[in-house]
Every structure is written in C-alpha cells, then in structure tokens.
Amino acid sequence: MESHNLTLRDVPNEERPRERMMQVGAQALSNAELLAILLRTGTYQESAVHLAQRMLSHSGGLRSLVDMSLEQLTEIKGIGSAKGLQIQASIELGRRLARSVLNDTVMVRSPKDVADLMMEELRYLQKEHFVCLFLNTKNHVVGQETLSMGSLNAAIVHPREVFRAAIKRSSASIICVHNHPSGDPTPSSEDIQLTQRLVEAGEIIGIDVLDHIVIGDQAFISLKEQGLM
C-alpha cells in the first residue's frame, strides 16, 4: 500500500534528490535521481532513488526507458499504473518540447538546420520513424508529420501518403527525415531508392523534395549533400 512506501523524507540526506536539485541544480543530478523525483515514493523495501536505479537497470538505460509501453513499465516491481503514467507523461512533455521550436518560424538553410530540429526527437527511438517537414516558398517550416513507423531496419512509405500530406498543407517543398535506431546514419539502398521515387513523384506533382536526412546518434547524413538524390 502507498502508506507503506518509503518517501524521500525517509531516506538519508545524500539520497534526497529534491534537496540536491535545489542545492546544485537539475543538471548535476544523475538520471536515477531525476527519475526518483518523478516517482516521488519508493517501495516498502527501497527508496525512490533505489527504485529508479533498478528501473534503469531493468530497461537497459534511459534510452530504452523512453520507448517502453505502460504494460512494460508496470512489469517492474514497485511501478504501478500511476507511476508508469507519470513517467510517460514526462517523456511526452520532453518530446513536445523538442518539437516546440516549430512554433517559432524556423527557416531551413542547410541540412544541419534540419538535424538540429529533429535530432532530439528521433535519436532515441527504437523503431524507424519517417517524418516529413513541410515548407512554404520561403523555406519556413509550416508543419511536420510522422508518416510511417517501421521495424528496426525498415520504414515503409508510399509517395501518395507523402504528397497527400504535403498538398493538404499547401507545401511548396518537403524535406524527408528518418532515424536509424542503430545510431549509424549511413543511408541504406532502400533509403536511396525511396528518395529517388519521392523526387520523381514530386517533379510530376510540382512539390520539390529538397533533401532526405538520416538521423543517427548525434550524427546525421544528408542524401542531397552525398549526391544520392
């Protein structure tokens, strides 16, 4: 029962992450300490910090924790639906914060601008996500949409879905972006073939495909820069 859980007041000062955060700031805290603040309480046998450490060990680290379902989270001893939902809510807020720059008028001048915009949103995902950025005539990003979530090594995208979404937003051009869960952004032959199909379809429809960016772990590759489109 909740009344039997250890709260952060019940543990030694050195294991109280809220107090440490007030003293030294959030940047100085470990992943387990930040997670413990979200959990608020531990279990009858362990503090919130120890529970957080066990969660990270069980999941394989922060990156894997990001992609866990509620069912997977609640399989961890000491994590009920309330704690699981708290964690998922905080992860979703982080994702929305990463996307919130779109609310400012973002102008794409280079592949790096795209990578800066999308890196934190895509680099941790364990499946391939294919995203389109929609641009106006001044290369301002006017929207984005995830059009496919594939397996660990492939994302299946059809040109009609891509350009249906682009036409709906009256886009002058698009930039395609997808992640490689392996962390290696080297384009596959399928990536190159898909890009060529999209370029050809765009020429017929009158919507330019400006680039296709592959996101890895703190690295990216532009197919345009590589001469692959």
pLDDT, tens digit, 9 for 90 and up, residues 169-206: 999 999 999 999 999 999 999 999 999 999 999 999 99
In degrees and rounded to multiples of 5, residue 88 shows phi and psi of: -65, -35
DSSP 186: P
DSSP-assigned states of every residue in 150-211: --SS-----HHHHHHHHHHTT-SEEEEEEE-TTS--PPPHHHHHHHHHHHHHHHHHT-EEEE
pLDDT the model gives residue 10: 53
CB within 8 Å of 22: residues ≥ 6 apart: none
Q: Is the pLDDT assigned to residue 2 strictly greater than 60?
A: no
Q: Is the pLDDT assigned to residue 97 strictly greater than 90?
A: no
Q: In terms of DSSP bridges, do strands 220-222 and 208-215 run parallel, antiparallel, or are they unpaired?
A: antiparallel
Q: In terms of DSSP bridges, do strands 141-149 and 129-135 run parallel, antiparallel, or are they unpaired?
A: antiparallel
Angle (CA) 208 167 104, round 5°: 80
* Residue 168's pLDDT band (cuts 50, 70, 90): very high
According to DSSP, the residues that pair with 133 across neighbouring strands are 144, 175
pLDDT, tens digit, 9 for 90 and up, residues 15-63: 588 888 888 888 888 998 999 998 888 877 888 888 999 999 988 888 7
